[in-house]
Amino acid sequence: MKILMLTPYLPYPLLSGGQIRTYNLLKKLANKHEVTLFALIKDDSEKQYINELKKYCAKVQVFKRSKKPFTLKNIFKTAFSSFPFLVIRNHAKETITAVEKELAREKYDLIHAETFYMMPHLPKTDIPTILVEQTIEYLGYESFSNKINFPFIKNLLNLDIKKIIKWEKHYWNSCDKLIVMSEDDKNFIAKEIGHPEKIAVVSNGVDTSWFEEKKKNLPQNPTLLSVGTFNWLPNVEAVNFLVNEVWPKVKEQIPNAKLWIVGNAPTPEVYKYQEQDASITVTGGIPDIRDAFNGAHILTAPVFSGKGTRYKILEAMASHTPIIATDIAVEGLGVKNGEHVLTSNTAEAMANSAVKLLRDLPLREKLAKNGFKFVKENYDWQEISVKLDNIYKEIGKKR
């Protein structure tokens, strides 16, 4: 099949969950479909990675969006637009013209858009459109808004959230097929728009063979790991909670313990944590994420907002790394507390679980073994790609 795919990022290098997902699916489906990729970039330096994607795509075109989100131009445009800031900051006008020309020049079987905020780049067309929602955006912003104490800023954000809700639901309804990351996401959206038959689950995955290639290299000091790109609000909230609420309680009981925070684009606030506490190390983009998982005794994931599948959970299990997480962090995965992970939803419970796990080697080994078996059987990219391939074929037949 001939597919036009639109993404709000270049799916390489693998710095974010979205990039990991798209790259692996392109790789697995390259021999089955002819994909033309239209991707947004923030900097011309990203063009050096186009050749890597051409291994799996018939054509690759990139379009520049603003390098920094909070520009005066973006804020001004949002103020006078029915679209939310999330759409405006991810908008590249030339993409619309390029898509129109491409569809006029070539006959495509379907269009695949990653995230609802890529949908405004599409013209009216009778070509079937698949929309992939990696997370339910407005829920994350609502959670963030609830924590703001400044009325003026809170009101502005809530106004923008109303726009997100309007357009996110609009594109859920207007696409031909909506793909989400979990059954929980599917059930949630079905309650919002109805039509559960048009919603399919194609969860995130992990390349278990690739993670198996590297062995553990644990440090002498017991080490907790936090992983997550910092341009996503739930990850920032998680790290703040971990450092301020959980970590002091862990250090009280295990004074020589270390906390390693890894993730792309750390905020100045996150970097300050290592300046204020010698037991904390902050690493930005890491060349090989396997080094992070293999260099820590436990992954901690105190996520309290947002939807979607957390790559950090899948990757930790693929790395034989035990996990302590909130219920939301493992929501929809099908893991069991005490068998695959340990779940805790308060600072005290999470700290106690961390201390227990750091002191109990047999328990760590049990969780690592069970977690790896679980992720290999249920979330390997090979199996995930088959599900997407079947949806392509289903939509293609209708076409």
Domain boundaries along the sequence of the chain? 2-205+381-398, 208-378
What mean pLDDT is reported for the chain? 93
pTM of the model: 0.82
Does the domain spanning 2-205+381-398 belong to CATH 3.30.70.20? no
How far is CA 230 from its chain centroid? 11
Is the pLDDT reported for residue 234 higher than 60?
A: yes
Residue bearing the bigger pLDDT, 161 or 70: 161
Q: What is the reported pLDDT for 184? A: 87
Q: Is the pLDDT of residue 334 over 80?
A: yes
Domains 2-205+381-398 and 208-378 share a fold: yes
Residue with tokens 């898509």: 99
User: Span 227-254, mean pLDDT?
Assistant: 92
Measured CA distances, 352 to 20, 341, 363 (Å): 33, 14, 14
Average pLDDT over residues 116-139: 95
Residue 399 confidence (pLDDT): 62
Q: Is the pLDDT of residue 397 over 80?
A: no
- Dihedral in degrees, nearest 10, Cα atoms 60, 65, 69, 70: 180
pLDDT at 70 over 90: no
Tell me which of 60-64, 291-295, 307-311, 340-344 is least confident.
307-311
- 251: how many CB neighbours lie within 10 A of its CB? 18
What pLDDT does 308 receive? Answer: 55
Q: Which of 8-17, 136-145, 172-181 has the highest mean pLDDT?
A: 172-181
Q: What pLDDT shows up at residue 159?
A: 96
Q: Is the pLDDT of residue 299 over 70?
A: yes
Query: What residues contact residue 97 under an 8 Å CB cut-off, 6+ apart?
Result: none
Query: Which of 106-115, 140-149, 363-372 shows the lowest per-residue confidence on average (mean pLDDT)?
Result: 140-149
Q: Return the pLDDT at 374.
A: 97
- CATH T-level topology, domain 208-378: Rossmann fold (3.40.50)
Question: At 104, is the pLDDT very low, low, confident or very high (cuts 50, 70, 90)?
Answer: very high
State mean pLDDT over 205-214: 92
